[in-house]
Each structure stands twice: as structure tokens, then as C-alpha cells.
Amino acid sequence: MSRYAPDASADQAAQSRFRPVDSVPSANPAKVDLHSHSTRSDGVMPPAELFQQMTECGMEVVALSDHDTMSGYRELRDLVGDIAGAPQLIAAVEINSIADRDLIEMGVELEEGELHILGYGVDADDPHFLRALESQRDARRVRLMMIIDALRALGKPIDDQIAVVLESDEALGRPHIARAMVAAGHVASVQQAFDEWIDRKGPAYIPRQGMKSRAAIDAITAAGGLPALAHYPAAPEQPELIDLLMGWGLRGLEVYYRRFTPITVRQMEALAAQRGLIATGGTDYHGDGQSYADARSTTEVPREVGDRLIEALGGVGART
Ligand code: AMP
Ligand code: ZN
Ligand code: FE
Ligand code: FE
């Protein structure tokens, strides 16, 4: 059962997260970016290089929200004081969580059966939280090995191209597989690798193992963080889902997302205001085929969004 109103689904189809976006620069390019990825998970740029580019773009408040690791943030917090004009840096993480049974029973439509939960202001030294993230990374590695095996069985081996990545302790993901497939000459682009081989309908798709959504919200809360629902444009049509997640401790909503249409952004703003959720936003920059400057200049995140999040996190605590 889908509860999408016809207009909303048309709007959503037009803004599929992975569809290329036209890169017409915004009149108000973001100075706030609360969603980005580095090589510590599945982005293409090392944390320090990404942070340097953020600084050069004149960003004011940023968060590196790598999947299942705090290692990029831990590196950056030691650098930030030495870089002239550096933006304020907020501790963050993104946990791609598997929908709990209660969510599935609601009949909500979820991309790949998942909700992505961002955690802001988490304690990056909390041993319990770091162990939980380590288990997540272990589960990612197991899944990746299974995808590699499936591709080999399908006549698309990537063992040589993926070897370097497997040696690291990074949070591995399908973008690593997709890039290895490009390097092996099996596909022409990362997008083609997803579309033909490894997205949910692909022959080499293997389901994720790891935290459920409720556990992700709990883990972030227990580490002193503010859990926020990432890139979920159907939220305004799903009041029961929002009730359930807020009952579990959800406190924020990603309202400003690079690929949301202006209509969706307005609806998400209204939802956040109505439910008392902290609005967040950002580029979700990974770096495949696009510069950071480009991503940021095609994203709008109002300045107050950074200030309000910092305030919700207790002000100065957010600054490192
Ligand atoms: P994983 O954590 O292994 O499930 O990989 C998730 C990441 O893969 C997302 O953060 C996106 O960057 C990328 N991704 C997922 N699905 C697609 C898709 N259909 N097309 C392009 N990129 C995708
Ligand atoms: Zn990612
Ligand atoms: Fe995500
Ligand atoms: Fe992301």
C-alpha cells in the first residue's frame, strides 16, 4: 500500500536521488553543508582535502557525515584550528539502517528497504558507539565480499581492482564496487554499474546486514547525538512513520537536500516546523564526476540551519 498522493509521487519520480541533476548554480549557494562523504567511507576525496575545498568555497558550517565511521571527523577536528577561515565543524555520521518490522508493516515505501539516519554532535570518542560502528563496517565488508563473489560468478571479476580498497579499514560500500567495475572495464560509469548490476534489482545485489532503524536512533542518542532522517522526500505523506520515528527519538529532518525539488523542500520545511524537528541539509557529496564547488553551488541550505543545529547541540560544544 502506498500512501503517496499522485502529485507527490510524480514529484518524487522526478527527483530520484541518483538521477543526474542539472548543474545550474543557485542564486544562494550553500554556506552550510551538513551531509558529505570522504574516502573514510564511500566518497572519493580524503577528509583533509574535502575540508580544504569546503574552506575555499567559503563554507561557514560543515559536517563530514561518513557512513559508519568517525575517523574522518577525528582527523579534521585536530586540523581545523590550523586552517585560516575554516568553517565550523560538527561531528556527524550517517547510518544506513535496515527498516524494522514495524516500519515494513506500515507499508511505507523505502528505498532498498532502508532509512538513512544522520547523527549530529555524537561523541566521537565514545567507546561503545565506536564499537557499534566497527560492527557496522564489518557487516559492510562481508556484504562487499559477497557482491564480489556474485560478480565473479557472473563473469565480471573485480578482484584486482578492489584489492587496495579491501586492505583499508574504511566503511566500504557499493560505490567502491561500482568504481572497481569501471576500472575493470565492465561498465562505462558508476551509474551504469548500479543500474545494471548492483542496485536492488541487479543480479549481483546482496541485502545489507547491520543495524535496524530503531537501533541506529538509539545508538546515536546514547552517544549524545541528535538523530535526523536523511533524504526521505515522502516524509510529508507519512505522518505515522514520523510519529513512530519520533517515538524512538528522532529529532531532526533533512529538509534541504541537493536533489529535492523546491516543492519538496517547502513541504519538508512545513513538516519540520509542525513537528518540532530540527531542519538539516546538505550536498550528500560523494565526488563521482563532480567537484565539491559544483555540488555546493547547486545546493541551497539557509544559514540559520547551521546556527539552529549548533544551538540544539548545546552551542559551543559543537565547535572543536
Ligand atoms: P551501500 O552502503 O553499499 O548500500 O552503498 C550506498 C551508497 O551507494 C549510497 O550512499 C549512494 O552513494 C550509492 N548508491 C546507492 N544506490 C545507488 C543507485 N541506484 N545509483 C547510484 N548510486 C547509488
Ligand atoms: Zn555514501
Ligand atoms: Fe544516504
Ligand atoms: Fe549520504
pLDDT digits (tens, 9 = 90+) for 268-287: 999 999 999 999 999 999 99
Report the distance separating Cα 34 and Cα 26, nearest Å.
18
SS (H, E, C) the chain: CCCCCHHHHHHHHCCCCCCCCCCCCCCCCCCEECCECCCCCCCCCCHHHHHHHHHHCCCCEEECCCECCCHHHHHHHHHHHHCCCCCEEECEEEEEEECCHHHHHCCCCCHHHEEEEEEECCCCCCHHHHHHHHHHHHHHHHHHHHHHHHHHHCCCCCHHHHHHHHCCCCCCCHHHHHHHHHHCCCCCCHHHHHHHHHCCCCCCCCCCCCCEHHHHHHHHHHCCCEEEECCCCCHHHCHHHHHHHHHCCCCEEEEEECCCCHHHHHHHHHHHHHHCCEEEEECCECCCCCCHHHHHHCCCCCHHHHHHHHHHCCHHHHCC
Structure confidence at residue 16 as a pLDDT band (50, 70, 90): low
Question: What's the domain count of the chain?
Answer: 1
Confirm whether 16 is domain-assigned.
Answer: no
Q: Is 286 in the pocket of ligand 1 (CB under 6 A)?
A: yes
Segment 83-104 shows an average pLDDT of 95
Q: Is the pTM of this model over 0.95?
A: no
Among all bound ligands, the one having the nearest atom to the CA of 289 is 1
- Give me the pLDDT at residue 9, please: 46
From 15, 18, 38, 201, mutation site for ligand 1 pocket: most ligand atoms within 8 A of C-beta: 18
- Give me the pLDDT at residue 289, please: 86
Q: Is the pLDDT of residue 12 over 70?
A: no
Report the distance separating Cα 254 and Cα 231, nearest Å.
6
CA angle 117, 254, 89 (to 5 degrees): 80
Confirm whether 113 is domain-assigned.
Answer: yes
Cell of 44: 572519493
CATH code for the domain of 258: 3.20.20.140
Confirm whether 152 is domain-assigned.
Answer: no
> How much distance in Å is there from the Cα of 155 to the middle of ligand 4?
30
Confirm whether 15 is domain-assigned.
Answer: no
Confirm whether 288 is domain-assigned.
Answer: yes
> How much distance in Å is there from the Cα of 254 to the middle of ligand 1?
18
Residue nearest to atom 22 of ligand 1 (CA): 18
Confirm whether 2 is domain-assigned.
Answer: no
Determine the structural domain holding residue 218 and report its residue range: 31-124+210-317
Confirm whether 130 is domain-assigned.
Answer: no
Q: Is the pLDDT of residue 4 over 70?
A: no
Cell of 138: 564489518
CA 257 from centroid of its chain's CA atoms:
10
Structure confidence at residue 23 as a pLDDT band (50, 70, 90): low
- Give me the pLDDT at residue 29, please: 85
Confirm whether 42 is domain-assigned.
Answer: yes
Cell of 233: 522526500
Q: Could you tell me the CA-to-CA distances from 100 to 202, 205, 250 in Å, in that order?
A: 23, 20, 15
